[in-house]
Structures are given as structure tokens and as C-alpha cells.
Structure 1
Amino acid sequence: MDVLGTSPEAVDAFLKHFKTSLRENSIFRGHVISFTASDYSSSAAGITFHRRISVAAGDVVLPSGTLDRIEAQVLGVGEHREKLLAHGAHLKRGVLLYGPPGTGKTHTVRYLAAAAAGHTVILLACNTLAYVSEAARMARALQPAIVVLEDCDLVAEDRSFGHGPQPLLFEVLDAMDGLDTDADVAFLLTTNRLELLEAALVQRPGRVDLAVGIPRPDAGARRALLELYGHKLNPSPETVNRVAELIEGTTASFAKEMTRRAILLAAIAGQEPGDSHMMAAAIELMSDAATLTRSLLGGTGENDQEPASSREAAHFEPGIAPGSIGCSG
């Protein structure tokens, strides 16, 4: 747009007002959006709007206090922006959720997107991770905003594993570093393979301020998951306890699929789903014949090992140790 006027000051003031109005009245503001990849160029082909799924805090099964710490960093910073800025603290932040597949990382992201009413949420995953620079520019213009990078290890692998520097890695780092200190923008990253992340991404202050491990659920969490996903089966407390013990080492994704399998078994038998079907589904999925199925649902953790980088990531938040606590879960 070209603007002509006799007063340069008036033209500048008009352009400033016009640009501000464009940002404030953007159709993207306050929505959950993602880019559509183009098959013919390196630029995005369009924008997709996503329904903001309602997820209650009680539906996110994590160890006590974990969700509160994540929510305080992602959303609490913006809620207290005036006090933080008055004391010289910056608003931009990065949060990394790491852990085995299926443990609830993506589900936690869904909860944060639902809780962040009024925030612009930009989702990047798989082939759209390449648009992180564009996402950062949009987030800056449409703040308060959250930029979600699912499975960020796909673009931020340790350079020692490849053939020299990865340009996309530098775009991620530049996007996180390039925001003004008063930008109310949160980068929310998830990964299943913390050991492959570039050290510069997770260890440099100002890029990731909080790293939280999302582990396989313990016995109490497994019971909570069975009650959450299987409430329509109305299982007895005894059955929930027995199944929770039987499926030790599994993930939230496993519990969800197991309850679905119980309903299917009941439907095939022409019966109402109940305790016997939940137990039968658990026995079936924990059998030797279902080893591959268990692996696809997140495994049972027999071979889980804590990578050295997990211990390093814990330095971001004293008291949060790896394992102390759903592209994939």
C-alpha cells in the first residue's frame, strides 16, 4: 500500500495505526492454527484453523505438581507480565516436554491450548517444522501466542550425528533468540528422543527455560488413567487395581487403547462392557503375542535408559529430575 500526504509525520502516524489495526483485527488472532505445506515451493501454502478442544486439568494425568509448573511457565508469565516487566524480567520463554512416546506430552499441549483462551496457538509438526521463522513472526504480531514444535528432535538433532550444521536447527534457535524481551510468546517443544537434541537448544539460557520429563505412569497414575478412559465400563475398584498392576510399565496411550479394546470385546460378545472385558483386554495386550502392539502403543519401558542429556536438562528447574514425574504422545 502506498500513502501520499503533505505531512510526513501524518503519513507515518497513519501507517503505524494501520499496521497496528491489522494485527489487532487479524482473523488469526486468538485461534489455533497450523501451516499447510506446499508441494511446489519452500513457503507455506496456507493456514488451517483447528477446533480448540476442551481438556480439563483433571483429564491430564501427571505426577503431582507437574502440570502446575508447566502451566505457570507457559501461561503464568503472561498473566503477570506487568510485574515481571516492572522488575526487568523478560516474557519470552521456552518449555521442553520430553519422555517416551505415549506418556501424555501431546495431551498436555492440548490442555494448554484449551486453557490459553485468547492466545494465538501455532502448531508445527512433521513437514511444517520448517516454517518456524514464519511462525515466530506471526506469534510476535499476534501475541499473546504459543508456538508448538512437536517432535522437535526432527529438526534439532545433535550435529555430530549428521554431516555438519543443520540450517533448520539454526532457524529454530534464531526464532527463539530473535524475539524482543517483552514479547509474550512461549515456545513449547516436545520430543521423544532427548538424547538426540542439539545441546545448544536445551542448554542455552533464553532458549529453553524449563525442561520437564513426562515419564511412564506409576501405579497410582495407571489407576487414574483406567478410571478416566474406562469410566463408562464402570469397573470395580478391585478390577482397576488388578489391571493397573498387570499393565505395569505401559503408557497413557496403552490405557486408552486397552479400554477401547475392552468395549470392542464386549460388543463382539453382544454384552455390556464390564470388569471381565477390561481384564480380558489387559491380558490380551500384555501377552507375548502382542509384543509389537505394545511397542506401537509406547512399549512397556523394559529397555528405557536415562540418557546423559536428561540429567543435564534437569538443571533448568531445581527439583525436577528426569523420570520424576499425548506425530506422538
Structure 2
Amino acid sequence: MASDNGDDPAPLDEATPSLGEADLSQISDAAFTLWENIHSTREELKKKKESAGKLFSNEVSDFLGVAKSDWGWSSNMFYNDNGFYLMHLLDFLDREFTIQVQTNYKTNSVSYVDIDEHVGIRYKILDLGRGVKHSLPHSAVFFIESEGGTEKLVLTLDSSSVNPYENELTEGQIIYDSIEHQEQSFWDRFREDFYANGPLKGERFGADLRLLDYDPNLGMDDIILDEKVKLSLEKNIAGFIRAIPALERAGHRTSRGIMMAGVPGTGKTLYCKILLNMVDLTTIYVTRARMSKGLTLKHIYRLARKLSPSLVLIEDIDTVGGMDRRAIEDEGNLGSLLEILEGIEPNTKVITVVTTNYPQHLDEALRNRPGRIDTFINIEVPNREQRREMLKGMTSDVKLAADIDWDELVKLTKGMTGAYLREVVASAILTFTFNCQDEEVILDNESLIDACKESRERMEKSKVDITYEKMPELEKDDKQAWG
């Protein structure tokens, strides 16, 4: 058959050259080289992966001088108060050890060493209250050495939280050079130092473990109380603190419970604020709101014992819940507090001050039982002379007209608490500024008398008749159980 161009096709053996042995040899060598390169690359990647997976283990073993199989380790969890723990942990390391290396790994746990690489130390911002904020490491590794090199340890920190503002849980792990050294617990030494020298020692903080905002200038001159009440408070708090050494020598317990009772507005909260300045003790301030965000009563007193001498202030204890066994709702706080105040574990050098507006709402076993509550102090509404002194003090920074009739004002404010008296003065100032455009406030007798009448009307409207059931008689077994 003729081709398109009219030429016959060339023979097959002439159109396609054959492969010689040399050509086949070259192809075989190239294929082997390619396979060898691929295999080598895979082996290198495998070795790199294995090496990366052992980065943490290798560096720890090199530092400690022992294989991983000989490590010993112990863990410690920092819960709600880990902000203070972490603060002190860094201080403890700085005082007791030399930090040789600070670093971090993608995986820095003894249990997980899959694929490691060095990464940056991760920090969390901790709001400790009173405007105090700290940026502290929550994922880091510290290679530390004691003075003289007698002890080498590796500390790892790892937080379960990815939110830098959360401070719920951080795990600390100490790696030792042997299992035997695990008994020489780093964490025991740290905790002992924390309670003796840590940031909570001598501080004023709430049950939510946040530092308290308080006025350091408040003093007893800022409150007007009956002289007998003042004397009783001073004797049972400041006087008791001074008597602790003598009580110890005599073999008596060094804990005390004081209950301050009175209608709202009589100065109980103000006295507690003053107390923060009066006593140089670790002070834990407890309210229902702070407890709902923080520690339980058992944890509060456990902390108070470790930080003693200490003061526990429980404000409005009748609102904490579960403090009356007659109540349908029982949150278990009554049993906890009764056991805490006079249980197996003594509250050595712990003073408890509780306030209440309604002592009749509290269980008899709490409010009338020395050893739990030793002293009951009733704060009455201010008398005639106290009201005069309070009104003059509350208007001392305001210009007064010459016609002020203090006797009439004192008469009109009979039965009013300090809170109502403050409202009288505030209302009079408000009325003056509303009616006059003058920048300078000048209170006259009429403005103050009108304010007294308004407060009196409010008092009368707010009164309600409340009948309390009589405490039921307890069975013999109940009396033994509850004291």
C-alpha cells in the first residue's frame, strides 16, 4: 500500500532502533538511585519525627543525667486560687533555686511525648482584685537547680484552659532524677512556704479569692456606737488577739466567735470595714455572693487555719442559706459551720465575726452556744445624743444656715438608724440643689426638717408585721446531735 506521499514505508527494524545492554544498564541504575533516594528521604523523615517525639524526654534526661525510665514525678493542681499560687511559685523558684533554662514544648507532659518542638511560653492574665493584674505563665518548662547543684528538677506547667483570662485549673508537674527523690516532695515544701510567706499571708481577701478594696483611712472615729458596744467589740477582738499567748500558756483554746446583731443600717457593715484596718491579721471576707463564686465554708476555714492568726468575717450570715434547720431549704451550711466552729480540727488562732440583721432566723445551736459563738453583741439604733452627734458629723462639710434646730431634728429622727440619718442629709442637699442654682450648698432648718419627715414616712411605709414561729422542741437525739 502506498503512503500519502507516494513513498513506501521504511522497514520496522530500520525505523525503531533497538536498546542495547548499555542502555538497559543505565535505566536500571537510574531507577535504583531514585528508589534509594526515596528510601533515604523516608528514613530521614522517620528519624526526624522520632527525634522530635523525644525532644522533651531527651532534654529532660540530659539535664537530670538519668534515663526516662528512672524518672520520678509528682503533680499538683492549682484550682481557683492558682493566681496566687503561680505568683508565689515563681517567687519560690527565684529564692530557692537557680533557673537554668526557661522554655516550652508543643507537648510538655511526662505522659505525652508524641511530636515535640520548642514553642513560646504561654501566659495568662490573672485579675486578682483591687486592680491587681498579673501576666503569669500557664504553659512553660523550667529546668532548675538548687544552690551547689545538689538537686536538679524540671518543673512543667500546663493549663487546661485556652482562654488567657481564665484561672480555673493549671497542672504543675515536678520531674526528679529518681523515684526515691519523689518522697522529698517539692510541692510539700512549696505549700509550706506559700502559707508562711505567700501573697495571701496577712492579706485581706474575699471567699472568691480576690483582694478586697477597702479604705485604709477608716477608723473608730468614723462610727458612732454605744460605749458599751465599743468596749465589748474591742475586748473580744483586739483584746482577744493580744491575749492569745496567755491563753496558749494556760492551755485554753485560741479561737473565738463573735456575733453582731442589729436591724439594717446600724453600722455593722461599717464596723467590718473599720475592722479591716484595726487588726493586722489575714482576713477572709465572706458573703453569699462571694461564696457562690469561690470557696465553701470548709475550704475557707481550712485556709484560715493555715494562714493563722486570721480573722473570718461572715457578713449577713442569715443570707448564706441553710442556717436554720426549720427552713425548708437547707443548703447544708448549718451542719458545716457547726462542725467547723467546734469540730475535731481546732481553729487555732482563728477569730470568727458574723453579722446578722435577723438573729431569730439563725439556729439556736449556732447563736446560743459558747465554743461556736462565744459573744453576742446587740447593736441598737442610735439614741438621742448619738443621733445629734451623727447628724452634726454628716453635715460637717456642708455650710449650714444659722437657724438649725438640732433639738427638733433629733426629735424627728427618733428610731432612725445611721443609714436613715445619712439619707436625711443627702435628701436635704438634693432638695436644695434642685430648687437653687447656686453652686454652694447652704442647708437651712426647713430643708433638713422636710427631709426628716420624708424619711419618717418612708420608715412607716416599709414596716411589715412578721411573725416568727417558735423554735420547736427537739427530740433527745437531736439535742445530742446538734448540741
TM value normalised by structure 2: 0.53
Aligned to 1:256: 422
SS in 2 for 1:52: coil
Q: Is the 8 A contact 2:224 2:386 kept in 1?
A: yes
**1:273 counterpart = 2:441:** yes
Aligned to 1:321: none
After superposition, the CA RMSD in angstroms is 3.3
Aligned to 2:219: 56
Aligned to 1:194: 359
Aligned to 1:218: 383
Aligned to 2:340: 175
**Aligned in 2, Cα 1:152/1:291: closer, same or farther, shift over 3 Å?**
same
Q: Is the 8 A contact 1:153 1:196 kept in 2?
A: yes
**Counterpart residue identity of residue 170, structure 1:** G
In structure 1, which of residues 189, 192, 203 is the aligned counterpart of residue 368 of structure 2?
203
In structure 2, which of residues 213, 232, 250 is the aligned counterpart of residue 87 of structure 1?
250
Aligned to 1:125: 287
**Aligned in 2, Cα 1:61/1:308: closer, same or farther, shift over 3 Å?**
farther
Aligned to 2:318: 153
Tell me how far apart the structure 2 counterparts of residues 305 and 216 of structure 1 sit (CA, whole Å).
21
Tell me how far apart the structure 2 counterparts of residues 149 and 7 of structure 1 sit (CA, whole Å).
45
**Aligned in 2, Cα 1:3/1:72: closer, same or farther, shift over 3 Å?**
farther
Q: Which runs of 5+ in 2 are unaligned?
A: 1-74, 76-173, 472-483
**Counterpart residue identity of residue 256, structure 1:** R
Aligned to 1:100: 263
Q: Which runs of 5+ in 1 are unaligned?
A: 37-46, 310-329
Tell me how far apart the structure 2 counterparts of residues 308 and 114 of structure 1 sit (CA, whole Å).
40
Q: Is the 8 A contact 1:140 1:185 kept in 2?
A: yes
Matches within 5 A, 1:277-292: 279-287=446-454, 291-292=457-458
Tell me how far apart the structure 2 counterparts of residues 245 and 144 of structure 1 sit (CA, whole Å).
45
Tell me how far apart the structure 2 counterparts of residues 222 and 25 of structure 1 sit (CA, whole Å).
45
SS in 2 for 1:49: coil
**Counterpart residue identity of residue 34, structure 1:** G
Tell me how far apart the structure 2 counterparts of residues 32 and 135 of structure 1 sit (CA, whole Å).
13
SS in 2 for 1:232: coil
Give the deviation of 1:306 after TM superposition: 11
**Aligned in 2, Cα 1:279/1:213: closer, same or farther, shift over 3 Å?**
farther
Q: Is the 8 A contact 1:92 1:180 kept in 2?
A: no
Q: Is the 8 A contact 1:143 1:185 kept in 2?
A: yes
Tell me how far apart the structure 1 counterparts of residues 219 and 421 of structure 2 sit (CA, whole Å).
18
Give CA-to-partner distance per residue, 1:195-239, whole Å, 9 cap, x none.
Answer: 111001012221101110111111011011112211112546953
**Aligned in 2, Cα 1:250/1:295: closer, same or farther, shift over 3 Å?**
farther
Tell me how far apart the structure 1 counterparts of residues 466 and 276 of structure 2 sit (CA, whole Å).
30
Q: Is the 8 A contact 2:429 2:443 kept in 1?
A: no
The more displaced of 147-156 and 243-252 is 147-156
Give CA-to-partner distance per residue, 1:93-117, whole Å, 9 cap, x none.
Answer: 1110111111111111111111113
Give the deviation of 1:153 after TM superposition: 1.3
Q: Is the 8 A contact 1:33 1:121 kept in 2?
A: yes
Give the deviation of 1:249 after TM superposition: 0.8
Q: Is the 8 A contact 1:3 1:11 kept in 2?
A: no
**Aligned in 2, Cα 1:197/1:136: closer, same or farther, shift over 3 Å?**
same
**Counterpart residue identity of residue 233, structure 2:** I
Tell me how far apart the structure 2 counterparts of residues 259 and 179 of structure 1 sit (CA, whole Å).
51
Give CA-to-partner distance per residue, 1:13-53, whole Å, 9 cap, x none.
Answer: x76654321112221222221134xxxxxxxxxx2212232
In structure 1, which of residues 65, 68, 84 is the aligned counterpart of residue 228 of structure 2?
65
Tell me how far apart the structure 1 counterparts of residues 338 and 175 of structure 2 sit (CA, whole Å).
36
Give CA-to-partner distance per residue, 1:86-136, whole Å, 9 cap, x none.
Answer: 11221111110111111111111111111113x122111123346222211
In structure 2, which of residues 412, 427, 441 is the aligned counterpart of residue 246 of structure 1?
412
**1:33 counterpart = 2:221:** no
**Aligned in 2, Cα 1:195/1:100: closer, same or farther, shift over 3 Å?**
same
Aligned to 2:124: none
Q: Is the 8 A contact 1:156 1:197 kept in 2?
A: no
Q: Is the 8 A contact 2:309 2:349 kept in 1?
A: yes
Indicate the structure (1 or 2) with the bigger Cα radius of gyration: 2
Structure with bigger helix share is: 1
Aligned to 2:395: 230
**Counterpart residue identity of residue 201, structure 2:** R
Greater relative contact order (Cα < 8 A, sep 6+): 1
Aligned to 1:324: none
Tell me how far apart the structure 1 counterparts of residues 331 and 196 of structure 2 sit (CA, whole Å).
35
SS in 2 for 1:48: coil
**1:24 counterpart = 2:190:** no
**Counterpart residue identity of residue 339, structure 2:** D
**Counterpart residue identity of residue 304, structure 2:** A
Over the matched positions of the two proteins, sequence identity in percent amounts to 21
**Counterpart residue identity of residue 74, structure 1:** I
Tell me how far apart the structure 2 counterparts of residues 227 and 172 of structure 1 sit (CA, whole Å).
42
Tell me how far apart the structure 2 counterparts of residues 307 and 67 of structure 1 sit (CA, whole Å).
32
Aligned to 1:39: none
